[in-house]
Amino acid sequence: MTATNTKNVMVIGKIHPAGQDLLEARADVTVTHASPDDPNLADQVADVDGILLRIYPIDRRLIDNAPKLVIVARHGVGYDTVDLDALTARGIPLAVVGEANSPTVAEHALYLLLTVAKQGAAYDRAMRDDDWAFRETLAATELGAKTLLVIGFGRIGTRVARLGQAFGMDVQVLDPYVADDAIEAAGCTPVAALGPALPEADFVTVHTPLNDETRHMIGAAELAAMKSSAALVNTARGGVIDEPALLAALRDGAIRGAGLDVFDREPPDADNPLFRLDNVVLSPHIAGITAECMVRMSRTCAENVLGAFDGTLNPDNVVNKEVLTAR
Ligand code: NAD
């Protein structure tokens, strides 16, 4: 192997050793580790052939500064921090981890649905506060026989729908990019718009990407259309729900509660007013982070990087598939 064949991979953020070992086992690959807290990574990519990315803004300037770049592999499936158009213009694939984290995030959405319905945090607090009488408050509700509106019927949304069905929920689905037949074949009811669906739903869960079309798709008007007994779960991206409008709806009792894994600003400010509300269950963007999932994601994104170098990149994992046909 000549030195000119060496590929330089920049890993931005910490990944599980399972994937790192795959990269480091290759004699023709050199790995450098970069911190997502370094604001100047765009100035350090002149020799980089591949980027393996947890979270960092991969903007046009960084891409322009990386003339050798042939792959950006996201350690996840969301890519709202990546300038996809700039990559596509250069013919560079953006790869994600496909289904590696879908079951994990779907489980977390169910955890949030159950915790909001059952008041998990309040039960725990009542026990620690010697408040046995809490059991008379009748604050908890059931998922069974309730209507669940799943927004976004992709890898995660389809799994959440199945889990909801297992709890006896009537599952409605809004996804303009999935045929009604496919939604019906999954035993769900397709809905064409939020307007008529929101007033019917007892639980709403969001599984779309964040983009110009979905930003603030749940805002003040949509929250006002929901039942006051309904709850909202977001494991997608903070920006899909208008956070100030959600705060107001939760404060005013316009909806019953929310389960949130993702926020407008991450990490959120310590004085985020959501943290003072009892009808919110929170988690630190952890829906896809379990021991098992970190191994799968780390391996898959390392394989995506090596696949791009070797000409064996799995096309199912590529977001901008048009760059593959252009080759
Ligand atoms: P996916 O691409 O398989 O599914 C997204 C679905 O959303 C698609 O079916 C698409 O048609 C649908 N959609 C797009 N625009 C829509 C709209 N306007 N209205 C309704 N549906 C719309 O993606 P996925 O793997 O299911 O992941 C979904 C999102 O979850 C990701 O984009 C990511 O932002 C988020 N996510 C979060 C975490 C976390 O840790 N919290 C982890 C993984 C993914």
Residue 276 lies in a domain: yes
Residue 1 lies in a domain: no
135 in catalytic set? no
Give 212-219 contacts, CB < 8 A, sequence gap 24+. Answer: 214/239, 214/240, 215/239, 215/240, 216/240, 216/241, 216/242, 216/245, 217/151, 217/241, 218/194, 218/242, 218/245, 218/246, 219/245
166 and 96 fall within a common domain: no
258 and 110 fall within a common domain: yes
314 and 170 fall within a common domain: no
133 and 144 fall within a common domain: yes
307 and 178 fall within a common domain: no
Residue 327: predicted pLDDT: 66
Phi, psi values for residue 147, rounded to 5°: -95, 125
Structure tokens at 185: 């074949």
- Determine whether the shortest distance from the Cβ of 268 to ligand 1 is under 6 A: no
In the chain (327 residues long), the average pLDDT of successive 10-residue segments reads 78 96 97 97 98 96 98 96 97 97 98 96 94 92 98 98 98 98 98 98 98 97 98 98 98 97 96 96 97 97 98 97 87
- Determine whether the shortest distance from the Cβ of 207 to ligand 1 is under 6 A: yes
Q: Which residues contact 79 (CB under 8 A, 6 or more apart)?
A: 94, 96, 209, 319
Into how many domains does the chain fold? Answer: 2
Catalytic residue among 16, 54, 215, 285: 285
Residue 209 lies in a domain: yes
Could you write out the DSSP letters of every residue in 259-327? EES--SSSSPPTT-GGGG-TTEEE-SS-TT--HHHHHHHHHHHHHHHHHHHHT---GGGBS-THHHHT-
303 in catalytic set? no
266 in catalytic set? yes
Catalytic residue among 142, 266, 292, 322: 266
82 and 115 fall within a common domain: no
pTM for the model stands at 0.94
107 and 96 fall within a common domain: no
Residue 2 lies in a domain: no
Domain that holds residue 308: 7-100+291-325
- Residue to mutate (ligand 1; options 53, 75, 77; most atoms within 8 A of CB): 77
* CATH number of the domain encompassing residue 53: 3.40.50.720
d(CA 249, CA 228): 9
- Residue 77 Cα to ligand 1 midpoint, Å, equals 8
Are 207 and 262 spatial neighbours (Cβ–Cβ below 8 Å)? no
Residue 1: predicted pLDDT: 43
191 and 259 fall within a common domain: yes
Strand, coil or helix: 45:
coil
69 and 128 fall within a common domain: no
